Structure 1
Amino acid sequence: MYAMSLGEDGAELRPLEPWRAGEFLAHMDRGREFIGRYIALADAVTDLESARAYLQGYADRTAADTGRIHGIWTDGKLVGGVLFRTMDIARGTAEAGCWLEPSAVGKGLVTRAARLIIDWAVEERGVHRVEWRAAAANEASLAVARRLGMTRDGVLREGSCHRGTRYDVEIWSVLAPEWRAGRKPPRTAG
């Protein structure tokens, strides 16, 4: 098993595999209402069986090279994650996403983790376009897209229905050349 450091605070990014279903469920239970405000993940993972099935679905996507899921740990505790909901290597596209429990908000964890997976997708898998979709009301997720240097492509008006409420969905993206240009250190004058 591998872990990738997310910085000096000891946070780590690790694969979120089916054998971690109990830990994943406990994490969902801690943050269920917060996580579930805009995304269906909290409603999909409600017991050990559904947690295992959810993670197995991503294990199958990993094997098929059509998706990935990683957890974010701080002090040995799962507090959130990032994923590629979809990956189409032949077309060079992927859709990234995230979630976080309240105890981990405001520490830059999602931005740091998303940078790692996007860098991997662009440099290792040859993905040309990475999308980020979020409810227009989800300011925290939209702020991550901005910090990642993404461009707002548009809005799908009432494009999502979650818990009986229709939400506008903003679509943001970054293209591989933009991603690479954004990672380069700034040139110094003189």
Structure 2
Amino acid sequence: MYAISLGDDGAELRPLEPWHAEEFLAHLDRGREFITQHIPFGVNVTDVDSARAMLQSYADKRAADSGFLHGLWLDAKLVGGVLFRIFDAEGGNCEIGCWLEPAASGRGLVTRGARVLIDWAFDERGLHRVEWQASSANEPSIKVARRLGMTREGVLRESFLYRGVRQDMEVWSALAPEWRDARARAAHNDH
């Protein structure tokens, strides 16, 4: 299987497959409290079978071209991931998301991994719009959207019920032409 280097710090982006179930469960157990603060990702993964089932559901989505998971590894240890939660190739839209255990936060892993997936969605698959949704209370996720150069489109007030509390959800997006223009400007400024 392939691995994409995310820099000189030993960070890699790789597909997260059903055969990673034990490693995925161990990762979620290390970071469960942190990961599930704002999102229910992995909350029902409590044993190897449920880990495998979740990973299989995304393998099925990938086979149907409707979503998929990529793990973030740091020094050969699974520490988080980025995913296409929704992937609509025909409509030209997708929603990207992320999760990370606390020991790996603050290193830019999610931003670097998300950038690879967004480049792929626009350049290889020809999508037009990538969306990022995050609870307004999830400041690390909001910061990633900003670092990626996404545009804040608005707030869906009290639209997401989580842990008995109605959360405001922010909607951020990038469109293919503006993404390519920003990338070209960054490349020009590097010269």
TM-score tier (shorter): over 0.9
- Within-5 A mapping of 1:49-68: 49-68=49-68
Q: Give the C-alpha shift of residue 185 in structure 1.
A: 3.8
Secondary structure of 1:66's counterpart equals: coil
Write out per-residue CA displacement over residues 118-165 of structure 1, whole angstroms, 9 at most, x where no aligned residue.
000101111100000000000000000001110001111111111211
Distance 2:43 2:9 in 1: 31
* Alignment check: 8 A CA contact 1:89 1:125 kept: yes
The match for 1:170 is: 170
- Please name the residue that 1:112 is paired with: 112
| Residue in 1 that maps onto 2:147 | 147
- RMSD after superposition: 0.9
Q: After superposing the two structures, state which structure 1 stretch, 47-56 or 167-176, moved more.
A: 47-56
Q: Which residue of 1 aligns with 2:98?
A: 98
Letter in 2 for 1:184: A
Runs of 5+ unmatched residues, structure 1: none
1:81 alignment partner in structure 2: 81
- Cα pair 1:95 1:130 within 8 Å, conserved: yes
Q: Tell me what 2:6 maps to.
A: 6
Paired letter, 1:129 = R
Q: Does 1:131 pair with 2:131?
A: yes
Give the deviation of 1:10 after TM superposition.
Answer: 1.2
Q: Distance in 2 between matches of 1:17 and 1:157?
A: 35
1:73, CA displacement in angstroms? 0.4
**2 CA distance for matches of 1:44 and 1:157?**
26
Question: SS of 2:69's equivalent?
Answer: strand
Residue in structure 2 matched with residue 181 of structure 1 by the alignment: 181
1:33–1:42 Cα contact (<8 Å) kept: no
SS of 1:44's equivalent in the other structure is: coil
Quick one: percent identity of the two aligned structures? 65
**What SS is found at the alignment partner of 2:171?**
strand
Q: Distance in 1 between matches of 2:83 and 2:24?
A: 14
> What's the secondary structure of 1:42's corresponding residue?
coil
TM-score normalized by the length of structure 2: 0.96
Q: Distance in 2 between matches of 1:90 and 1:52?
A: 29
Q: Does the 8 Å CA contact 1:131/1:173 hold for their aligned counterparts?
A: yes
User: Under a length normalisation based on structure 1, what TM-score does the superposition of the two structures give?
Assistant: 0.97
Count of residues in correspondence between the two structures? 188
- What are the ranges of 5 or more consecutive residues in structure 2 without an aligned counterpart? none
